[in-house]
Amino acid sequence: MAFFRCYPLIVAQTVRDVLSSKRTILFVFLALAFPAVAIFATIEAGDRERVDELYSGISLGVLFQGLVPIISMFFAVSTVREEISSRTLVYMITGPVPRTAIWLGKFTASVLVSWIVLGLGVALALVIMPRIGDQGFRAASITRATLLAPVLPALLAPVAYCAIGAAMAVRLKRAMVTGAIFVVGWEYVVGSTPAQAGVRSLTVVDSARSLLFHAVDPVAAEDFRSAMIVWASGGRRHMSESLIPSVHDAVVNLGILTAVALGLMLWFGLRRDYDSESDEE
């Protein structure tokens, strides 16, 4: 019963603290880079490019290979490490607060904040992008399927990233540095290997890309999908879309990565002695 009493309180308090932080405002402006780039590129390109192709490419490059991992990992790591570095954690774990409630509460809060921050950018794009064609900037508007394509991966990918970031933060003092290395060295590098290598499934970004690939309009974003297939095969042409994981496989993969990361988070968090943690990070 102690878990169910403490867990929602920790989530609510953490969300309030993070949203009231000045750093969160900076990440809100960062998240707005997605709709800003999409809108500007669509207006500037005019009739030279199809809006679905532009929006799909920007969603992939700006949102899922940039903003989603950076923002999610930051909030996951910061919510956990600030609790440890401020040493309030010591008082919590010596009291009647279960450690599982603390760590799962921090993880849940980081997911909610990531959804809020990233959701502002995605929502702005959903509202403005369909109006660009109607206002005469382009001859044709974006199709509904492509417009909504980033929504599902933008909901699922932060959950996996936050779980991984929280696991790092529970175990490592320099988790922010480790998280940056993970995003750049693992997600970007390993996530860009050809499908034949077989290691891309160990990244979050590969599943996010796959969900985006299958969600965009197959006719209006045909060039984007063709380019993705060629890229996935390592530059080989005349390859089928079977190289791209299915929606089911992508969701399952994200679920496995999240479950493993949460398991490690609880394993480390339930066994580590935080009384000896330094006040300084």
Q: What is the pLDDT of residues 28-75, one digit of tens each?
A: 999 999 999 999 988 887 555 688 999 999 999 999 999 999 999 999
Pairwise CA distance, residues 58 & 61, whole Å: 5
Q: What is the pLDDT of residues 143-186, one digit of tens each?
A: 999 999 999 999 999 999 999 999 999 988 888 899 999 998 88
The 10 Å Cβ neighbour count of residue 256 is 14
| Confidence (pLDDT) at 95 | 64
| Confidence (pLDDT) at 214 | 95
Pairwise CA distance, residues 74 & 109, whole Å: 12
| Confidence (pLDDT) at 47 | 58
pTM of the model: 0.90
Q: What is the pLDDT of residues 194-225, one digit of tens each?
A: 766 678 889 999 999 999 999 999 999 999 99
**∠ CA 124-129-131 to the nearest 5 degrees?**
110
- Averaged pLDDT score across all residues of the chain: 86
Coil, helix or strand for 198? coil
Pairwise CA distance, residues 205 & 66, whole Å: 10
End-to-end CA distance of the chain: 34
Residues 238, 218, 223, 210, Cα dihedral to 10°: -70
